Chains A and B, each alone.
Chain A
Amino acid sequence: MSWFNKHKDLPEFYKTYLNAFEEDIQNIESVRFVVFDTETTGLNFKSDRILSIGTVAILNFQIDISDNFECFIKQETFNPETVEIHGILKEGSLSKISEEESIKLFLGHIKNAVLVAHHAAFDIAMINEALKRLDLPKLKNQVIDTGKLHKKTKYINDSKSYSLDELCRIFNITMHDRHTASGDAYLTAILFLKLTAKLKLKHKRLRLKHFFSWF
């Protein structure tokens, strides 16, 4: 099947998502960052499932609380062992939507934003797996990992992995709603702002590329 045909078969919401990338943004102040976090049934992105997604957007380096997304997903797979971390029960009081619906809404929300997450590779993989189950291509967005960004601002590249908890302590960020997708997304967003301030010290005119290049 040619790429063209494949594209033609894509559902409307995914086409809209792709179209958003046509727009080219130069000015860092106009770049929309969407900080997100997923709560999952486990750490295996093949067999585990997303329980909830929480996001908050940053524009002009301000967290815009009104530009957020939060959803809880109905489960077929359920791993009771992780309940005590995220507190989401299979049949809870929260209103839940299907995985397909959540992906649809998520893509509609993130559009062409630069995605930001702590240890982003895992969350991106979880979303991509969900997309795959829907026969859809992977995410197209640029991604910033706050874990990597932290190392970058400190000119270190060791193998030590700092958890969100550790970085919140280092950066004196008051933690609440830890282990809810939205709560973690918000903490990550504050961390991102603090790291960006450090990056600005290095680059008088901060550009988007500075977030990705090493030094």
Chain B
Amino acid sequence: MKNTIAERILDFLKGFPPFESLSRDQLLIISKQVKVSYFEKNSTVFKQQEALHDCFYVVKDGAIGIYRDQTLVDQCDEGDIFGLRAIIRKDQYLLHAIATEESIVYGIPATLIEDVLNTNIKANRFIIASFATNTRNPYSDEDKGTLFATETILQPNTSSFTEVQSASFSKNPITCKPKTTIQDAALIMSSNKVGSIIIAENHKPLGIITDKDLRNKIATGTHLIAEPVSAIMSSPVITFPDSITVAEAQIAMLKHEISHLCITKDGTIHSDLVGILSEHDIIVIHGNNPSVLIKEIKRALTAEQLRHIREKAQYLLQNYIEQSIPITFISNIISAINDAITKRCIRLSTKELELEPPTTFTWLAIGSQGRKEQLLLTDQDNALVYEDTTDNTDAKSYFLKLSEAVNQKLNTVGFELCPAKMMASNPKWCLSVSEWKSQFRTWITHPNTDKIMLCTIFFDYDYVYGNHNLVNEMSDSIFNAIDSYEIFLNFLGKNALTNPPPLSFFRNFLVEDSGDHKDQFDIKARAMMPLVDAARLLILSHKIKDVNNTINRYKKLCELEPQNSDLYESCIQAFRVLLRFRTQHGLKSNTSGRYIAIDRLSKSDRLKLKSSFKPIKDIQELIRIRFKLSQMM
């Protein structure tokens, strides 16, 4: 019998995990068994301690608040599941479920879920994982079922993804006849600037001569240059079809101890020669790898060259993100490349000034670049510190000139000038050690909103180039000042709580309500900064120097406070998810990735983001208690 209503329910359910991973038949069986309930606003679906219902629930319309005692712990809207944990554990309800607005809810019989769990691995994994990580959606389809796991488990073979791409080879190989003299062949090679020549007849490759043959067989006097090439050629040649992969090429070269492969139409020596693949070609293919890029950076002579290299790095980034390489690994590599580019810009600029620096200095990356969390090309944030001299005015004018040159070069590379002028070329951020120290001291002992904001940017500095000792001196001065004025940490704490975590994506309540980004979600301010601010505060309160990266800060905190390591671990995972999400989004939309249009997010992406909000709430609670902020606010 036709069942129009069940089909409509199926259409709804199939858009949400774990139902999306079920077959249509399985889903139809479930849809036919659904019980539809309507709840007025403020009416109860189930109560804490209540005996189990015979079903779990999916929100169709409206919203259901999940409460522990009086506290709202979660908000479920369209497509969210609730009341499942109790069903699986066959235990009474531990939380209240109350309609926070009028709602229509689908009840799905408990007996059906067991069948699904037994027959569908993916749905099973979703359920298990949702309990293990305490989030409702621990995976999304895009991340192949392992939202959090991708961040911790390195997938094999991904670091060498170039191996399986097909190798590109020279399509116009230089050839000669078997009767050509060795001398003529060498002349052809020279005029074409190649290291090898194929001996061919009727387009079929017979043999090959390389530079090495000329060195070993001619220069040694074993053969005369007037002899035909056939006398010294290596024959037969090793042939492959044009579909050869990089890995196959490398293996063949190693196995035959040769440096060139002939590419023929059908891959045998009996078909037409179409190209030649050399060891050098392989190196070029591998060229788009970090160590080669860094070598190229070190050799670059202009900012334009550096920009070209940075563009390659962008492809690298895109590939890494697509390959689900751990985000920590990706950010280390991209930061290393950015650092190398900055260093090169500084070296090139010092040369241009044609004047040695009057004293030692240090170039600092600040803000997200200082934390090594900047994966996309965004505004530059930097500062400079120089050693005090007898005449600081001279020193300052030199370093301002230098900074200006560096800032301009970085701009050419693609790191745009900072509109807020958080750059070393700004006289305010190009200071001697003693000036920085007294500035930090003022910020710490006379905090106000603006100064606290500056602290959140400048305290995340990272050494990029120059004299290491200057950075140490700066760090020491920060801790000394904080020691004598500990209430500063409370101010910093207060600042860390200015962005309360979004509880969930719900209607429009957490999207930006004005300006250019109206109705978009500010992932940086709403989700990432709260975690960054919390990590900075806690690490400063432990007086830990030189740990600037948010993930590393939480790792350090795990060591220092093992009793809170669960919370810090969840912050690490949330931050990884957010950083990857922002990077992915930025690459896709070719923006900074900061503003996300909620209505264009898939449900699974929404759930993925949502799962990272809980740790924000928890870490802010810890800060509120530890720094006694409830009285201050």
Contacts and interface: CB of A to CB of B under 8 A. Distances in A.
Interface of A: 54, 56, 61-66, 68-71, 94, 172, 174, 176-177, 180, 182-183, 185-186, 189-190, 193-194, 197
Contacts of A70: 1-4
B5 A68 contact: yes
B3 A177 contact: no
B4 A65 contact: no
Contacts of A94: 2
Given A56-B5, A182-B4, A65 B32 contact: yes
A193 B38 contact: yes
Given A66-B33, A68-B3, 18 more contacts: A54-B4, A61-B38, A62-B35, A65-B3, A65-B6, A65-B32, A65-B34, A66-B32, A70-B1, A70-B3, A94-B2, A172-B102, A182-B2, A183-B4, A183-B8, A186-B4, A190-B36, A194-B102
Contacts of A54: 4
Given A62-B107, A65-B32, A190 B38 contact: yes
Contacts of B407: none
Contacts of B38: 61, 190, 193-194, 197
Interface string B348-383: 000000000000000000000000000000000000
B40 A182 contact: no
Contact of A63 (B1, B3, B35, B102): B35
A176 B1 contact: no
B190 interface: no
A28 B107 CA distance: 20
Nearest to A72: B2
B413 to A, nearest CB: 52
For the residues of B in contact with A, the DSSP-based class is: mixed
A43 B537 CA distance: 74
A174 B40 CA distance: 16
Nearest to B4: A182
Nearest to A174: B61
A65 B9 contact: yes
A193 B105 CA distance: 12
| Residue of B1, B9, B35, B38 with highest tally of chain A CB at under 10 A | B38
15 contacts: A56-B5, A61-B37, A62-B35, A63-B35, A65-B3, A68-B5, A70-B3, A174-B61, A176-B8, A177-B5, A180-B4, A182-B2, A182-B5, A190-B104, A194-B38
A64 to B, nearest CB: 5
Contact of B36 (A65, A71, A172): A65
A177 B4 contact: yes
B87 to A, nearest CB: 17
A116 B595 CA distance: 49
Interface in B13-71: 31-38, 40, 43, 61
A193 B33 contact: no
Contacts of B34: 65
B33 A65 contact: yes
Nearest to A197: B40
A56 B35 CA distance: 11
